[in-house]
Amino acid sequence: MLNINPPPLFLLFAICLLYLPALVNAAEISTPPPPPIDAKAYFLQDFHTGKVLAENNADEKLAPASLTKIMTVYVVFKEIKNGRLKLDDLVTISQKARAAEGSRMFVEVNEQVKVEDLLKGVIIQSGNDASIALAEHIAGAESTFSDMMNQHAARLGMTNSHFMNADGLPVEGHYTTAHDLAIVTRALINEFPDYYLWFSQKEFIYNKIKQHNRNQLLWRDESVDGVKTGHTEAAGYCLVTSALRENMRLISVVMGAKSASARANQNQSLLNYGFRFYEAHQLYQGKTALTDPRIWKGQQQTVPLGLDQNFYVTIPRRSYNDLKAEINVNKKIIAPVKAGDKLGTVRVTLKDDEIATRDLVALQPVDQGNIVRRLYDSVMMMMEKDEDGK
């Protein structure tokens, strides 16, 4: 019988030390790069935080085709919100709108159509005729409406966009980027959540003609609820999508794909990548007091500080326990204070790397106290300085 002696304990210990780094590294697998996307440009972003999860050529100026209509609809929604337009207003269809090329809603000259129906014709059917009709009704001429589009684009920070029409048919000087399209999409969802529901509608019937939404992902992925397709020979096949899973919303933009199925598949790949390897968390609720520091010379002794809106972070999956938050309040807050005044910060780190900082603001105003309170607090502040040796 072969007699095998066990290895000495020190040898086993040495072996464990040798393989320990490999075991640790295996447990801490880094986030892989995004999937390959065969398109001119793409962009993947978390809706709540704005964190970019994947991009390529995102700021390259490209022909957007009907993705233009996202901005068209945004401007119309703004007009409704500002009280200058109503959903049941009637729009008279012009010869120019009726003669629009490409995808159509099939409105007729001199027909009067409700704004709501035209909006659905733009959003669901991608109607060029409906886009022109709305532009003419709001601004008098499509060129003037284009000026409005450009003004809103500049206000939103779409620095690489310029619009020449409302429907997206190719014309020199009409361009945008994958990044800019994500900006306007994010604004549209954030500012008009009720109207955004129309982007998930799969079909629309007008003049007894039923047309289907061209966004294939609405049928394939129940988490997808928008946004818009586009195609011209110059632009290729384009698609902006948005999906909501477990309180995390992503916006994905693909421009210049080679086919309708390719743009759908590539957006699906980007969405799956984002949801698979990242997670979003709401750390703090906006308009809620996080701390109540001392305020000097005021009508009250404390002031509630919080955030002006909900505070989200986007992080790699399984890293939540590595998050740390630090609240820093300004020293010696002195009345008067207005609601919204910045009086500190909330700083969030992940493994000692800062990933987000938000201003800590006064949630309510605090006026100056009476003369007795101000004199008393002045003395107390001087005494604190003396005690601190300052």
Residues contacting 101, CB < 8 A, separation 6+: 128, 169
Does residue 126 carry a catalytic annotation?
A: yes
Distance CA 361, CA 161 (A): 34
Cα atoms in the Cβ-side hemisphere of radius 13 Å centred on 298: 19
Does residue 69 have an active-site annotation?
A: yes
Catalytic annotation, pick one of 78, 94, 103, 126 = 126
Cα distances (angstroms) measured from residue 149 to each of 78, 139, 161, 256, 303: 11, 11, 10, 23, 42
DSSP codes, 164-189? S-SS----TT-BB-HHHHHHHHHHHH
Q: Which of 40, 66, 103, 297 is catalytic?
A: 66
The question of whether 223 is a catalytic residue gets the answer no
Catalytic residue among 51, 69, 78, 120: 69
243 in Cβ contact with 224 (< 8 Å): yes
Quote the tokens at residue 190.
């954030």
In the 3-class helix/strand/coil scheme, how is 295-354 assigned residue by residue? EECECCCECCEECCCCEEEEEECCCHHHEEEEEEECCCEECCECCCCEEEEEEEEECCEE
Q: Annotated active-site positions, please? A: 66, 69, 126
